[in-house]
Amino acid sequence: MKKILIANRGAAAARILRAVKALGLQSVAVYSEADADLPYVGQADESVCIGPAPARDSYLNQDALLDAMARCGADALHPGYGFLSENAQFARRVESAGHCFIGPSPKWIDALGNKAAARALMQRHGLPAGGSTAILPRDDLEAVCRAAEALGFPVLIKPAGGGGGIGMVPVEDVRSLPGSWERASGMAEKAFGDASLYLERFIQAPRHIEFQFLADRYGNVLSLFERDCSTQRRYQKVIEEAPAPAIDRKAVAAMADRLSAILGEIGYDVIGTVEMLYTPDGGFSFLEVNTRLQVEHAISEAVTGVDIVQAQIRLAAGETLASVAGKRPALRGHAIEARVYAEDPVRFLPSPGVLKTFDLPGARPGLRVETGYAAGNRVSSHYDPMVAKIIAHADTREGATRALIEALGDTRVEGIKTNIPMILQVLKSERFQAGAMTVDGLQALISTEATKERA
């Protein structure tokens, strides 16, 4: 592996570029016409325009990406997260063209990247999971309604071919199902190029706990502990932390060991995250496997000292887990990440526009900032609205929280609105500081504060 094409954009592309450079490899950045001025495009060894702004014509355009690889002589492709990162057909096309796809083998993207198939596989290996359906016909709404009624309302519509909370829609009753189904299908098609959907029984007020794994192609699996991603708005993660607070460490360790054993038994490889729902009464329940790098990987890097992106590249190239990461590291302190979105912090509507001012916190011990933007760049309405990730790491959770609050206070963004006021509200809340956030907790917190302001 000598030259890697980075098939992504924004913070993902900038982060992967840094890992590629650290490994002494050549880099190729691809970009849409809307992203031509983003800083990492000029920082790569080569850059290639792959089409106009809409994702379907650029970052989801498989032919354009494969053509770019052929033109620049890249021998590997890193898909990042989102877009085509969990598309098994694309991974196979990359490999058929003689290149390395830097991710799990396509068979695992097929078996686990498809959320409905993953649930069936993990249940066969004894993991508890809530009720769900197989992939349902897109245009047979009668079949969809029958499946929902058999499962029992409320239900959650979920895309089979993607993650990140995109396309997930809760449904309370059969009357609202057809409209929600069409809306979810359209979102999944736009984001992942795959409109396939399934239904899942809706669990009230769970915590979202996910386990990070690395694996080589020789049957070895390494757990890099867990992350708590319960602070979400409409199933989009906003704040993540590692390790999970206010939860029994023995129970978490036992689940990590169990998942490691299952992944080892089936021969899973390279990188993956097993997402679980957790309630104090019901324990852990399997949710899905993300067969890719996660947005929130940085907090796991902070508490383990393992560079997950470099490890992913080396494992995909065939190196052993022992040479890449060694034995399981010990936990080092606590890390919290905030996702800064270009959105109105009150109405939560997208806020695209030019970054007239974009002053992020400067370098300091325990603080890390990830972004694909600089002042003067335009935040496009065509893509995910995340403009930066700010990660704080300290010896204690309280110290990490204070450091993140200080860093967000030092952030200055003009030209667009951001969700920073809302993030600060959450970090300072009693509920967050008690480690008691659930996936519905952010909306409840926002509603409570809004009621106080009106009073």
Catalytic residues, by residue number, are 292
How far is 215 from 56, CA to CA, in rounded Å? 31
DSSP element (H, E) containing 444: helix 441-454
How far is 260 from 127, CA to CA, in rounded Å? 12
How far is 376 from 395, CA to CA, in rounded Å? 36
CA 44 and chain centroid, separation: 24
Q: Are strands 100-101 and 76-78 parallel, antiparallel or unpaired?
A: parallel
CA 172 and chain centroid, separation: 26
How far is 11 from 9, CA to CA, in rounded Å? 7
Kindly list the distances between the CA atom of residue 128 and the CA atoms of 87, 193, 283, in Å, as whole numbers in the listed order: 26, 30, 9
Q: Are strands 353-354 and 378-379 parallel, antiparallel or unpaired?
A: antiparallel
Spell out a b/e string for 238-253, using b for 16 or more CB atoms within 10 Å of the CB, else e.
bbbbbbbbebeeeebe
Residues comprising the chain, all counted: 455
Query: Comparing C-alpha atoms, which of 252, 264, 276 is closest to residue 215?
Result: 264
How far is 106 from 6, CA to CA, in rounded Å? 18
How far is 163 from 278, CA to CA, in rounded Å? 19
Cα dihedral across residues 387, 408, 307, 436: positive or negative: negative
